[in-house]
């Protein structure tokens, strides 16, 4: 089973970016953790990140065409992008929405997600462990 882990803007900066909010783990470290846990669970996990919205749309289309489950942290696009939400709506396999921080305890503009209405599940505020929990759920 293949699982795509798709990350939106600024998440390439994990580890350096506001560590008090997002922690000190880098995206490479997280990707390695996900790949290792995936192997244990019999899933081939591929982690990607982009700062370009069109690229994210194309990855979501690829997942829909291949019926590949997705763990999605759309980062700021969560709160702004109808286009990303429309791409998620085309899913043919589960999509789990993840946020490292508890967006509901932060600024009001982070409280609304265009993605959530189309997500099969949402993990918020559990740090990068949220990705691992999403992986365990999808692999089950």
Give the binding site for ligand DQA (CB under 6 A). Answer: 10, 73, 75-76, 78, 99-101, 103, 110
Identify which of 61, 109, 78, 67 has the alpha carbon closest to the alpha carbon of residue 8. 78
Nearer to ligand DQA, 95 or 100 (CB): 100
Nearer to ligand DQA, 39 or 52 (CB): 52
* Active site (annotated) includes residue 104: no
Q: Annotated catalytic residue: which of 61, 99, 111, 137?
A: 99
Distances (CA, A) of 140 to 5, 45, 90, 134, 135: 16, 14, 23, 10, 9
Tell me whether residue 110 is annotated as binding: yes
| Total Cβ atoms within 10 A of residue 108 | 7
Q: Annotated catalytic residue: which of 22, 114, 118, 131?
A: 22
Q: How far apart are CA 106 and CA 133, in angstroms?
A: 22
CB of 67 to ligand DQA, least distance (A): 25
* Active site (annotated) includes residue 114: no
Query: In terms of DSSP H, where are the helices of the chain?
Result: 19-22, 27-41, 53-66, 82-88, 129-139
Tell me whether residue 101 is annotated as binding: yes
CB of 42 to ligand DQA, least distance (A): 27
Nearer to ligand DQA, 69 or 78 (CB): 78
CB 23 within 8 A of CB 66: no
Which sequence positions are flagged as catalytic? 22, 99
- Which residue ranges make up the annotated binding site for substrate? 73, 79, 86, 100-101, 110
- Which residue ranges make up the annotated binding site? 73, 79, 86, 100-101, 110
């Amino acid at each position: 089973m293949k699982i795509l882990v798709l990350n939106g803007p600024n998440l390439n900066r994990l580890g350096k970016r506001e560590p008090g909010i997002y922690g000190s783990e880098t995206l490479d470290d997280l990707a390695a953790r996900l790949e290792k846990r995936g192997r244990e669970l019999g899933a081939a996990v591929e982690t990607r990140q982009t700062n370009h919205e069109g690229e994210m749309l194309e990855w979501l289309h690829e997942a829909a065409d291949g019926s590949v489950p997705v763990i999605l942290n759309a980062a700021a696009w969560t709160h702004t992008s109808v286009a990303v939400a429309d791409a998620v709506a085309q899913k043919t396999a589960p999509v789990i929405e993840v946020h490292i921080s508890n967006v509901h305890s932060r600024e009001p503009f982070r409280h609304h997600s265009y993605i959530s209405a189309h997500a099969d599940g949402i993990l918020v505020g559990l740090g990068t462990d949220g990705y691992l929990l999403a992986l365990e759920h999808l692999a089950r």
